[in-house]
Copies of this chain bind each other. A is one copy, B any other.
Amino acid sequence: MRRVAILGIGQTKIDEHWDKSLREIGGEAAFAALQDAGLEKVDSLFVGNMLSPLVSGQNQLGTFFADWVGLWHQEAVKIEAACGSGAAAFRAGLMAVASGEIDSALVVGVEKMTDKAGHDVTAALATAADSDYEVEQGVSFVGINALVMRRYMHEYGWKHGDFAPFSINAHANAMHNPVARLHQKITLDQFEKSSMVATPINLLDASPIGDGAAAAVLVPADRVASMPGRPKIMVAASASATDTIAVHSRRDPLFLSAAYQSSRRAYEMADVTPDDIDVFELHDAFSIMSALSLEASGFAERGQGPRLGLDNEISPKGRVPVCTRGGLKARGHPVGATGMYQIVEVVQQLRGECGATQVEGARIGMAQNIGGSGATILTHILKSG
Q: Give chain A's interface residues, CB within 8 Å of chain B.
A: 1, 21, 23, 50-51, 53-54, 56-64, 66-67, 71-82, 84, 88, 91-92, 95-96, 98-101, 123-124, 126-128, 130-132, 135, 240-246, 249, 257-258, 261, 371-372, 375-376
Contacts and interface: CB of A to CB of B under 8 A. Distances in A.
B80 A60 contact: yes
8 contacts: A51-B53, A57-B126, A57-B131, A59-B82, A63-B371, A67-B244, A67-B249, A77-B240
Which 3 interchain pairs have the tightest Cβ spacing?
A99-B99, A59-B127, A60-B82
A95 B88 contact: no
Looking at chain A's contact residues, the main secondary structure is mixed
Contacts of A91: 77
Contact of A63 (B71, B74, B76, B376): B376
Contacts of A101: 1, 95, 98-99
Given A54-B53, A73-B261, A95-B95, A66 B242 contact: yes
A376 B76 contact: yes
Given A77-B81, A96-B95, A60 B372 contact: yes
Given A77-B81, A258-B73, A371-B63, A99 B1 contact: yes
A1 to B, nearest CB: 6
A99 B95 contact: yes
Given A73-B261, A75-B241, A63 B100 contact: no
Nearest to A60: B82
A202 B218 CA distance: 46
Contact of A73 (B66, B81, B135, B243): B243
Contacts of A375: 60, 63, 67
B23 A62 contact: no
A257 B373 CA distance: 42
A109 to B, nearest CB: 14
A283 B241 CA distance: 34
A2 to B, nearest CB: 9
B76 A79 contact: no
